[in-house]
């Protein structure tokens, strides 16, 4: 199979971890006789530095012409601490999500047995956890109107949702639940927000079409608590953009490391795959960042392209690296040993 992949390394540790994902993909291409054509493109702080634009038109064009997009990370502290900056790296990612209509972000959260000891949570709380978080990605307060008054003393963010925006991801969440443990938990703040009430009404209506799936509601504050108290109660979590951002980062503690969490962002015509960790600027260039989330993102991408066996091969290699303790410092399993980013990548590619 011939596949064109847009590769966006991005900022911070993005380039390092994406390189390891490419090694794994190359190993898959060799073993299974595929041709993967990589089209490198820029986005984020590095794109601002070079072109002034966090999402150059060229990048958008490459993404639109590719079969899938593999993305590293975005963000740079020099922008975060400057509230007056008008051009920001994150705008690149947000615009890409919007332009490509990547409305459905899926973040699987699993407790890997080998890593359970690394979690701040007790083993009996997390063992067996298997959650799929469905986060709406192109609506809500992220894309609402933003205003700063002329005297710069009053700021405003608008949050809006339409029935259609809610419907399309809701159907995907229920379909996924049908192939899992048949439960969807809608996380909202319907006791305060009008948009949450529209979510609750729309999702309640759609649920009637999926009679074998149970629907449950949870206020976001309670959900933030329940995810830690008893994560095993969840199967599919469905939620809006901002709540999904918070809840999914929080849930990452369950896995023992955010360095292992991959995600997909799916639209009707495009699909992007990325680790959920950020650009981790402190580690940039040091060859210490954990490449597994990025490698597992590549596996999710293959899965999406229908290459199931190939995706499995990557996942098995990742599990092998964990069981042998060939891991980066952050998830050290073997007390006496930790490997560099590139060594972990090499091991995984060899194993495939």
Ligand X SMILES: CC(C)[C@H](C(=O)O)[C@@H](O)C(=O)O
Active site residues per annotation:
142, 189, 221, 245, 249
Site string for ligand X, 61-80 (x = CB under 6 A): -------------xx-----
CA-atom Rg of the chain in angstroms:
20
In the complex, which residues of this chain contact a second copy (CB under 8 A)?
75, 79-81, 83-84, 88, 90, 94, 120-122, 125, 141-142, 146-148, 152-164, 189-195, 197-198, 200-201, 204, 217, 219-222, 224-225, 228-230, 242-243, 245-250, 252-253, 258, 278
Residue 245 near ligand X by CB under 6 A? yes
* Least distance from a second copy to the Cβ atom of residue 316, Å: 28
Binding marks (x or -) toward ligand X, 82..111, rule CB under 6 A?
--------x--x------------------
Buried-state track 109-145, b at ≥16 Cβ within 10 A, e below 16: bbbbebbbebbebeeebbeebebbbbbbbbbbbbbbe
Between 15 and 89, CB nearer to a second copy: 89
**What is the C-alpha separation between 183 and 130, in angstroms, rounded?**
12
CB 147 within 8 A of CB 156: yes
Q: Work out how close the CB of 340 gets to a second copy at its nearest, in angstroms, rounded to a whole number.
A: 23
From a second copy, ligand X, none, which one binds at residue 339 (CB under 5 to 8 Å depending on kind)?
Answer: none
Closest CB 240 distance from a second copy, rounded Å: 11
Choose the contact partner of 305 out of ligand X, a second copy, none; CB within 5 to 8 A by kind.
Answer: none
Interface with ligand X (CB under 6 A), residue from 123, 194, 221, 309: 221
Minimal distance, residue 330 CB to ligand X, in Å? 19
Block residue for tokens 């898959």: 28
Let me know: does 290 contact 13? Beta carbons within 8 Å.
Answer: no
What's the CA angle centered on 178, arms 314 and 183, to 5 degrees? Answer: 105
Strands of the 68-73 sheet, one edge to the other: 35-40, 2-10, 68-73, 271-275, 262-266, 104-110, 130-136, 236-239, 183-188, 214-219
Residue with tokens 């199979």: 1
Contacted entry of a second copy, ligand X, none for residue 32, CB cut-off 5 to 8 Å set by kind: none
Binding site as annotated, residues: 97, 107, 135, 221, 245, 249
Q: Which of ligand X, a second copy, none sits in contact with 324, Cβ below 5 to 8 A by type? A: none
Binding site for substrate, residues? 97, 107, 135, 221
User: Considering the rule CB under 6 A, would residue 250 count as an interface residue with ligand X?
Assistant: no
Q: Look at residues 44, 68, 65, 74 and name the one whose alpha carbon lies nearest to residue 56.
A: 44
Considering the complex, what minimum distance in angstroms separates the CB of residue 105 from ligand X? Answer: 8
Half-sphere exposure (Cβ direction) of 158: Cα atoms closer than 13 Å: 8
Alpha-carbon distances, residue 212 vs 82, 177, 182 (angstroms): 50, 9, 7
- CA torsion, points 270, 271, 276, 277, in degrees to nearest 10? -70
Tell me how far, at minimum, the Cβ of 328 lies from a second copy, in Å. Answer: 17
Q: Which does 134 bind (CB under 5 to 8 A by kind): ligand X, a second copy, none?
A: none
Of the pair 75, 267, the CB lying nearest ligand X is at: 75
- Identify which of residues 52 and 83 has a Cβ nearer to a second copy in the complex: 83
8 A C-beta contact, residue 269 and residue 101: yes
Q: Which positions touch ligand X (CB under 6 A)?
A: 74-75, 90, 93, 191-192, 221, 245
């Amino acid at each position: 199979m011939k596949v064109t992949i847009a590769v966006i390394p991005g900022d911070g540790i993005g380039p390092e971890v994406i390189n390891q994902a490419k090694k794994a993909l190359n190993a898959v291409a060799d073993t299974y006789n595929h041709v993967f054509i990589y089209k490198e493109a820029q986005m984020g702080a590095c794109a601002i530095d070079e072109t002034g634009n966090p999402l150059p038109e060229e990048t958008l064009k490459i993404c639109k012409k590719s079969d899938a997009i593999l993305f590293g990370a975005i963000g740079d502290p020099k922008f975060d601490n400057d509230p007056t900056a008008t051009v920001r790296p994150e705008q690149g990612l947000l615009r890409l999500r919007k332009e490509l209509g990547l409305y459905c972000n899926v973040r699987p959260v699993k407790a890997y047995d080998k890593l359970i000891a690394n979690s701040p949570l007790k083993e009996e709380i997390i063992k067996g956890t298997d959650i799929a978080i469905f986060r709406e990605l192109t609506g809500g307060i992220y894309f609402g109107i933003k205003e700063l008054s002329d005297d710069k003393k009053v700021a405003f963010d608008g949050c809006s949702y339409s029935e259609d925006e809610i419907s399309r991801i809701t159907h995907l969440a229920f379909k996924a639940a049908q192939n899992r443990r048949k439960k969807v938990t809608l996380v909202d703040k319907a006791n305060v927000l009008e948009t949450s009430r529209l979510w609750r009404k729309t999702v309640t209506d759609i649920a009637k079409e999926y009679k074998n799936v149970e629907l449950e509601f949870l206020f976001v504050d309670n959900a933030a608590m329940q995810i830690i108290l008893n994560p095993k109660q969840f199967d599919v979590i469905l939620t809006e953009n901002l709540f999904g951002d918070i809840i999914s980062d929080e849930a990452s503690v369950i896995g023992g490391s955010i360095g292992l969490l991959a995600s997909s962002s799916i639209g009707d015509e495009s699909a992007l795959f990325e680790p959920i960790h950020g650009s981790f600027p402190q580690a940039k260039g040091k060859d210490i960042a954990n490449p597994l989330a990025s490698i597992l993102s590549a596996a999710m991408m293959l899965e999406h392209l229908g290459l199931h066996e190939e995706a499995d091969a990557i996942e098995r290699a990742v599990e092998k690296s964990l069981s042998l303790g060939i891991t980066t410092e952050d998830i050290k399993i073997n007390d006496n040993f930790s490997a560099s980013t590139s060594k972990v990548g090499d091991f995984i590619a060899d194993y495939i």
